[in-house]
Structure 1
Amino acid sequence: MTAGQVFFSAMAAYAFARLKWRLRSAVFAIFLAGLMVPAIFTFLPNFVLIKELHMIDTLIGIALPSMLISPFAIFFLRQFFATIPNEIEEAALIDGASKVGIFFRLVMPMSAAPITTLAVLTYITSWNDYFWPLMVSYTDRSRVLTVALAVFKSQTPNTGPDWAGLMAATLVAALPMLVLFLVFARRIVNSIGFSGIK
């Protein structure tokens, strides 16, 4: 899910930043407007769509609304792509590269730091998502870890939750995020001051 969202968002961001086409600014403004819409407003239409597609209580139903693109990812990568000097792209065009070739062979390798940062942020957001998986998943076959922790906490309402077991499960849930951040911490910090050339 994360890889698909980052990849398609990168292609859309490249189209907004480097390609010249009609209504580019208007379409980008619509994407920016998507950043202003609270996520809670999209839950009901997404739920109706997933129900009509018969994907309730499936992992694909949980992943589908955020599988392809997100306005934040497009905005984040567009800002970086816009800083890449035009001379680099023009030199590649003179050498016979196509726009697709420039994107895959030039822009993507130069954008490794922001793309990695975006992938980590997207993965963390998906991993910590709670309300949407709670709406869509009803059984153990599609229940994600965040929802499972809430179910585990509510299994013994009379005697109180098993705090030791709950804390151990919470540590297991947080451990992948800690490892991910430790591995990519330097790349994430470096991407804050990224530029078009190294």
Structure 2
Amino acid sequence: MKWTRTLLVYLVLLTGAALTLAPFVLSVMTAFKTPEQFARRSSLSWPDPVTLENFGVLLTGRTEFGRAIVITVLAALLLVAGQLLFSIMAAYAFARMRFPGRDALFWVYLSTLMIPAIVLVIPLYLMMAQLGLRNTFWGLVLPFAFASPYATFLLREYFRGIPQDLVDAARLDGANALDVLVEVVVPLSRPIIATVTLITVVSQWNSFLWPRVITTGNDWRPITVATASLQSQYNGNWTLVMAATTLAVVPLLALFLVFQKQIVRSIAITGFK
């Protein structure tokens, strides 16, 4: 009876894994096909022969997709740096510093997570237009370059779990609040910082609505908007679109492989606490 239950669990897990991975496998398979292969054969058939033609079209400048990749990488780096900097400082203030209304202010700030992102699009657009930042790189990144409520929440909960004795010992040695943050709290919080970094990169890398609204033309569009435009620009050339999605996913997978140990460790520690 026990082995039957175990077999059933594994079958359910394998089914879930297959349903999750199938779209990605199909995307990669299609990316290595020519348009003729895709049109004449089943979409589930393996590419025969394998071709890199679609990737060549994307990266040789004919579609300006390479520019979109560079813009996306630069925007993600700037957003990660800004959000980490301000979120870490805000989380430390909420976790370790005492001031009137600290907890009430934190929960008010956290409640902004309940506001749908689409509600903020028009006000943000009007602000960027008034500042003359429409269809610019700064208009693309500036609204999201500061602290994130979700990142602040994760970091605050982790900071609260750091032993107070370590903080007190640093203060006895003459460290001020900034020294404690930089020399004690941040080094001990590398797992959760890695997790926040990955979450921020993924959310900004996959952002579509705001870049679509604030950018026009090909000058400052990121990889998501560039991929969407390929469908209409090349009359539904799905092999080209799937090659673009493959290029968009590969950096995220590489990032996860680099940070997977820290992510698992931060989840385990946070769950234990």
Q: Which TM bucket (shorter chain)?
A: over 0.9
* CA–CA distance in structure 1, aligned partners of residues 145 and 218 of structure 2: 22
What residue is the counterpart of 1:194 in the other structure?
269
Residues 49-103 of structure 1: CA deviation (Å, up to 9, x unaligned): 1111110101111111110111111111000011111111111111111111000
1:86 aligns with 2:164: yes
Give the Cα separation in 2 of the matches to 1:168 and 1:50: 33
SS across alignment from 2:265: helix
Distance of 1:191 and 1:29 partners within structure 2:
23
Corresponding residue number in structure 2 for 1:58: 136
Percent of aligned positions with the same letter in both sequences?
40
Following the alignment from structure 1 to structure 2, what is the Cα–Cα distance between the partners of residues 3 and 152? 30
Partner of 1:42: 120
- In the other structure, the counterpart of 2:54 is none
Structure 2 counterparts to residues 41-190 of structure 1, below 5 A: 41-156=119-234, 160-190=235-265
2:61 equivalent in structure 1? none
Flag the structure with higher helix content: 2
2:109 is matched with which residue?
A: 31
For the pair 1:13 / 2:13, whether they are aligned, the reply is: no
Determine if contact 1:114/1:194 at 8 Å carries over to the other structure: no
Deviations 1:5-33 (A, max 9, x none): 11110000000000000111121011111
Larger CA Rg, structure 1 vs 2:
2
Structure 2 residues not aligned, in runs of 5+: 1-78
Letter in 1 for 2:94: F
Contact 1:129 1:146 in 2 (8 A): yes
- Give the distance between the partners of 1:7 and 1:193, measured in 2 at CA: 24
In the TM superposition, residue 194 of structure 1 has moved relative to its aligned partner by 2.4
Amino acid at match of 1:137: T
Alignment partners' CA distance in 2, 1:142 and 1:155: 17
Quick one: distance in 2 between partners of 1:148 and 1:33? Answer: 33
User: In the TM superposition, what is the alpha-carbon distance from 1:46 to its structure 2 partner?
Assistant: 0.7
TM-score calculated relative to the size of structure 2: 0.69
In structure 1, stretches of 5+ residues that fail to align are: none
The whole-number CA distance in structure 1 between the counterparts of 2:135 and 2:242 is 27
Q: Distance in 2 between matches of 1:185 and 1:122?
A: 15
Counterpart CA distance in 2 for 1:75 and 1:6 is 12
Whole-Å separation in 2 of the counterparts to 1:175 and 1:151: 20
Aligned length in residues: 192
Corresponding letter in the other structure for 2:240: G
CA deviations 1:102-147 (Å, max 9, x no partner) are 0000000001110111011101100000010000000211111100
